[in-house]
Amino acid sequence: MIDYIRGELVELTPTSAILETTGGVAYELGISLNTFSVLQGKEKHTEPVRLYCSEQIREDAWTLWGFHTKLERELFLLLTSVSGIGPGMARMALSAFSPAELCHVITSGDDKMLKQVKGIGPKAAQRIIVDLKDKVVTLGIDAQTTVTNNAGQEVNINSKVKDESIAALTMLGFSPAPTQKVVVKILTDDPDAVIETVIKKALKML
């Protein structure tokens, strides 16, 4: 098994990254939007990039998937262990939510949020929650209060403010998945923001 690949990032798209390693061997890896956002701007820099890997082997293909963190890879492996959830659908879920957000969605049993992911219907959402809820808890992620900012630093946010802001915006007619991403971003930038402030800022961003 390939644990990770470290090399020069020579090509990047929202769905794939090509890393060239020592000796001129280049690997193409499928990636999520989370990993894409971290890698943006690092193309052809001298500093090497490391992506944790998962191999998907079928009779007609061998595919490598790359992840910025071990947690994202672990969630990918858990998702693909669920009946009916393939690597493409797992990538969609990891593109719609950050790893911490996805952990919270699963542990809280929020099938409505999961159904916002393209390709995941009601039955698939329920299977993911039933199969993975306890397993995700063992990852030890405090998804309700801890997020990572653009500088890679952990920031504690008020989960009550987050949840009530999302609920209010959803009642106003905004879709839950993009609403959660906007609210978390606002609170990541300003952890002390009150509900009214979060909602006002979110209305300008949604």
The domain spanning residue 33 has which CATH number?
2.40.50.140
Q: Span 36-58, mean pLDDT?
A: 84
Is the pLDDT score of 47 beyond 90? no
At 184 the pLDDT is 85
Q: Are residues 129 and 169 in the same domain?
A: no
At 150 the pLDDT is 62
Q: Are residues 52 and 18 in the same domain?
A: yes
DSSP character string of the chain: ---EEEEEEEEE-SSEEEEE-TTS-EEEEE--HHHHHHHTT-TT-SS-EEEEEEEEEETTEEEEEEESSHHHHHHHHHHHTSTT--HHHHHHHHHHS-HHHHHHHHHTT-HHHHTTSTT--HHHHHHHHHHHHHHHHTTT--TTTEEE-TTS-EEE--HHHHHHHHHHHHHTT--HHHHHHHHHHHHHH-TT--HHHHHHHHHHH-
pLDDT greater at residue 27 or residue 153: 27
Q: Are residues 82 and 59 in the same domain?
A: no
pLDDT greater at residue 18 or residue 159: 18
Q: Are residues 77 and 36 in the same domain?
A: no
Domain of residue 181, residue span? 146-205
